[in-house]
Amino acid sequence: MSAGFELILALAGFAAVAALPTIIIPLIIAPKRPSPVKMAPFECGQVPAGEGRVHFMMQYYAYLLMFVVFDVIAMFLYAWGVSSIGVGMPATLIIIAFMAIMFVPMGYALHLAARRDIW
C-alpha cells in the first residue's frame, strides 16, 4: 500500500485555500473606518491597561509536565497494543507489569499536582 500521507496535506491545503475567498470578500465589500478605540484590545468597555500578555501564576503547570511524560508512554503502549496477539501472552504480562510500576509515580505526581500551594 502506498503511503497516502500526501493526501492529508492536500486536503489541509484545500481547506485553507477554500477559506481564502470568504476572507477576501469582506475585505472588498465591508466598510473600513478604523479608529483608535476600535483597534484597541477588547476589555469589556474599559480602557485597556498594561500589557496584553500578562504574567500570572501557572498553578496547573504540573499537569503540562505530566503530559510530556505520559504522551510518550501512551504512544509506546500503542506499539504493543496493535501487535498484542502476535507477540503473545508474555509480552502482555510485561506490559501489565510496566503499567503497575508506572501507577506509583503517577499517583505521586497527581498528588503533588493537586497541591496548589507549592506551585
Provide the binding-site residues for another protein, judged by CB under 8 A.
1, 3-5, 7-16, 18-20, 22-23, 25-34, 36, 38-44, 48, 51-54, 58-60, 63-64, 66-67, 70-71, 74-75, 77-78, 81-85, 89, 92, 96, 99, 103, 106, 110, 113-114, 116
Report, in Å, the least distance between residue 70 CB and another protein: 5
- Is the CB of 60 or the CB of 105 nearer to another protein? 60
Tell me the C-alpha distance between 105 and 66, whole Å.
10
Please provide residue 43's backbone torsions phi and psi, each rounded to the nearest 5 degrees: -135, 50
CB of 57 closer than 8 Å to CB of 116: no
CB 64 within 8 A of CB 109: no
| Nearer residue to another protein within complex by CB, 105 or 114 | 114
